[in-house]
Structure 1
Amino acid sequence: MPSLLLVVFILQLVLHIINTVGANTINELLWILYNKFPTPTHNAAQKVTALKRDIVRLKRELGLVSAQDDFARWAKLQRQHDKAMAEFQKLDSSLRTHQTRFTSTVATLRWLGTQGLRFALQFWFAREAMFWIPHGWVPYYVEWILSFPRAPLGSVSINVWGIACASMIALVAEAGRAVYVLATTRAVRQGVEKEKPMAFEAKPGAEKRPPKSEQKSSKKEL
């Protein structure tokens, strides 16, 4: 059985990922994955995708055909477009209904597996000590805060351990984001500096020589 310390840490990590990515984005990704498998909506989703491509193709062809010069072809394309659009709207409406039900189920399961599990663990292990602090390391009021609400005095409660895990995960995520931004900015700056033309400095003592015509004229004057 995994350690309770590790379970709380993983739970806080999952909550941080969900809050960072966004529940709606996760729901959309799960819906796409759900339709990839042989589910009741698999065939309908594949047909909706094919109809989207057909509608785009027919619209492009309609734009290239003139209704005055080639009315027969234009009318045929228009009928095909209207038929595909009607079928697409019907299937898409049915899929939207299934997606709403799917999203509601996923949201319920996600809450039970994250927030609900966190509340259950905090209630069930409220009197348990996650680990003990050596006696005399911190003052009495700090021991009372670390054991809040019902853990033994001198220990760290599951509530405080969860808050500590969430804070540490947030700090590490912010540090990683800052390092990524700095590295990206430095790479872009170096690329811009490489593209700039380099200016060559003239060697010290090097003087401009006069043109050959001026040299010949000066010799003649001498």
Structure 2
Amino acid sequence: MSLILAIFILVLIAEVISWIGKSVLADFFFAIYLRVFHSSTSRKQHNLKADILAKKAELLKTSAQDQFAKWAKLRRSVDKGLADLEALNSQLAATRSYFTVQFNALLWLLTTGLGFAIGAYYRQAAVFYLPPGWFGPLEPLLALPWAPKGAVSVTVWQASCRRAIRMGGHIIRGLCVPVEGRTEPAVKQDANRSSSPAARGEKVDEVKKDI
């Protein structure tokens, strides 16, 4: 893969992650992680919640005065279930915290860290060369920091890709928002017009004419 395409794909992945949100991705992959590596714990938590809810419902139907022995037994069972559930939730919370730290570190390495590494390794390389004389005095700036004169450096190309992708995202959002803004008021306006007294009067007149 060429350097120009590799940098573009890397920047695109980083921007997509930024658009989606790290927390959303962490929640999604943590659910998969639980199913694969902690399926028994997750299943135990689900069954324990269902059992507690069932016993609580039965406890509410049991009279503490008329059926005290049964009520006390159910109460102890519910309290024990809640204690077990709290311990299980604490265990899963610790697992989630560890996973989130590792996941965020992995995302940083695959996006920002890898971008820094490519920028440092290819700091003197030319991503591509510009036609001579096209950009005049701007050519040295496009080669910053250490690329050959007349070339576009990795740093400048990364910044250009990031800028272009963000502008593309803004344009797409700008095209989508006005469509929603135009359709909703039109529907509301038609609904208000049809429900207005004048509109109802016109309909009555039309019915009378038909009769």
Q: Under TM normalisation by the shorter chain, which class is it?
A: 0.7 to 0.9
Query: Is 1:172 aligned with 2:174?
Result: no
Q: Name 1:217's counterpart in structure 2.
A: none
Shift in Å, 1:96: 2.1
> Where does residue 51 of structure 1 map in the other structure?
48
Work out the CA distance in 2 between the residues paired with 1:156 and 1:187. Answer: 45
- C-alpha distance in 2 between matches for 1:20 and 1:65: 52
Superimposed CA distance per residue, residues 119-170 of structure 1 (whole angstroms, 9 cap, x where no aligned partner)? 1100111111111111111122x10111110111111111111101111111
Structure with higher helix content: 2
Measure, in 2, the Cα distance between the counterparts of 1:4 and 1:18.
Answer: 21
> What is the root-mean-square deviation in Å for CA atoms of aligned residues?
2.6
Which residues of structure 2 form unaligned runs of 5+?
203-211
Q: 2-side partners of 1:179 and 1:58: how far apart?
A: 54
Aligned residue in 2 for 1:119: 116
The 1:185–1:71 alpha-carbon spacing in structure 2 relative to 1, beyond 3 Å, is farther
Corresponding residue for residue 160 of structure 1: 156
Partner of residue 206, structure 2: none
Q: What CA distance in whole angstroms lies between the structure 2 residues aligned with 1:116 and 1:53?
A: 44
Could you tell me which residue of structure 2 aligns to residue 128 of structure 1?
A: 125
1:54: Cα distance to partner?
Answer: 3.2
Runs of at least 5 residues in structure 1 that lack an aligned partner in the other structure: 203-222
Residues of 2 paired with 1:63 and 1:10: CA distance? 59
Distance 1:73 1:129, change over 3 A: same
Which is greater in Rg?
A: 1
1:21 counterpart = 2:17:
no
Residue in structure 1 matching 2:80, options 79, 83, 87: 83
Q: Among the aligned pairs, what percent are the same residue? A: 33
Instruction: Name which of 153, 168, 178 aligns with 1:182.
Output: 178
Matched residue, 1:137? 134
TM-score (norm 2): 0.82
Partner of 2:2: 3
Aligned length: 201
Distance in 1 (CA, whole Å) between partners of 2:105 and 2:131 is 42
1:48 offset after TM fit, Å?
1.2
Distance 1:171 1:62, change over 3 A: farther
* Secondary structure of the corresponding residue to residue 26 of structure 2: helix
The AA in structure 1 aligned to 2:48 is L
Counterpart-to-counterpart distance in 2, 1:186 and 1:72:
66
Letter in 2 for 1:3: S
Alpha-carbon distance between aligned partners in 2 of 1:57 and 1:191, rounded to the nearest angstrom: 47
1:106 paired residue number: 103
Q: 1:178 to 1:78 in 2, by over 3 A?
A: farther
Measured in 2, the distance between the counterparts of 1:114 and 1:23 equals 12
Q: Distance in 2 between matches of 1:69 and 1:184?
A: 62
CA deviation map 1:65-98 (0-9, x unaligned): 5544654554343233212212211222222222
Q: Offset of 1:52 from its aligned partner? A: 2.6
What's the TM-score once normalised by structure 1's chain length? 0.78
1:42 and 2:39 equivalent?
A: yes
